[in-house]
């Protein structure tokens, strides 16, 4: 997993780098809050480890900026603090941090907090995937219900329209002008029937944008079952 971390002192950075490498993470380090914030903006990471006390931007401020970033809601932020007093911990959590670790920290303690973070990230990914699949299932169910309603409400009057048009076209006494108009009606009705038929045969409904930018169901032939 990609991880960004920042610590002002070289000892902490060395500890973080060693623990992250041992856990198999791909990490990038920074020595101040401004640098790690720039790294996150350039390429957001799923996990960010920050010391609370950082030059340029402190850890809570970087955390707040991450939370305001479009990708920040999916990032797990772990803050390392040397102060365990209630007010300081409240500031850490109020900034939007997911968890904190006390300093000085042992490799075992830090490794445990990182393991918790990795599990939480995996659970969140699974939750978002499940929600996305549920939303698509509901959308597909809605498409199916709409298709049945359209077939019921459109096919019967459309069949009557096509049938009467065909009967009128069989009349050899019709003037050419009226025959042309009836032929136009027949062609347009047949086009509507084709749309309803393709809608009923959708195998993988997808939304596309039309010329005005509005989203609509793609009814191109490539999205339907073969005849």
pTM for this prediction: 0.64
The pLDDT tens digits of the residues spanning 143-155 come to 777 777 777 788 7
* Domains annotated on the chain, with CATH: 2-105 (3.40.50.2300), 133-223 (1.10.287)
How far apart CA 77 and CA 95 sit, in angstroms, is 10
Residue 17 C-beta-side C-alpha neighbours within 13 Å:
12
Please report, in tens digits, the pLDDT of each residue of the chain (227 residues total).
999 999 999 999 999 999 999 999 999 999 999 999 999 999 999 999 999 999 999 999 999 999 999 999 999 999 998 876 566 778 888 899 999 998 888 999 999 999 999 999 999 989 888 888 887 777 667 777 777 777 778 877 888 888 888 888 888 888 989 889 999 998 988 888 887 777 777 666 676 677 777 766 776 654 544 44
Q: Where are the alpha helices (DSSP H) in the chain?
A: 10-22, 33-42, 59-68, 86-94, 107-169, 176-200
Residue 65 C-beta-side C-alpha neighbours within 13 Å:
18
Strand, helix or coil for residue 217: strand
């Amino acid at each position: 997993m990609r991880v960004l971390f920042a610590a002002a002192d070289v000892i902490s950075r060395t500890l973080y780098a060693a623990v992250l490498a041992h856990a198999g993470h791909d990490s990038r380090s920074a020595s101040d809050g401004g640098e790690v914030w720039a790294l996150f903006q350039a390429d957001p990471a799923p996990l960010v480890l920050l010391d609370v006390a950082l030059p340029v931007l402190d850890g809570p401020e970087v955390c707040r900026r991450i939370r305001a970033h479009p990708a920040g809601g999916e990032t797990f932020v772990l803050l390392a603090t040397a102060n365990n007093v209630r007010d300081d911990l409240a500031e850490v959590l109020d900034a939007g941090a997911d968890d904190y670790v006390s300093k000085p920290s042992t490799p075992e303690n830090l490794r445990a907090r990182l393991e918790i973070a990795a599990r939480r990230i995996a659970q969140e990914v699974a939750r978002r995937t499940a929600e996305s699949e549920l939303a698509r299932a509901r959308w597909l169910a809605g498409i199916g219900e709409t298709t049945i309603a359209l077939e019921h409400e459109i096919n019967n009057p459309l069949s009557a329209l096509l049938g009467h048009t065909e009967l009128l076209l069989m009349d050899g006494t019709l003037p050419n002008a009226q025959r042309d108009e009836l032929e136009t009606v027949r062609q347009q009705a047949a086009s509507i029937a084709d749309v309803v038929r393709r809608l009923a045969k959708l195998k993988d409904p997808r939304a596309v944008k039309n010329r005005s930018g509005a989203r609509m169901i793609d009814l191109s032939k490539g999205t339907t079952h073969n005849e």
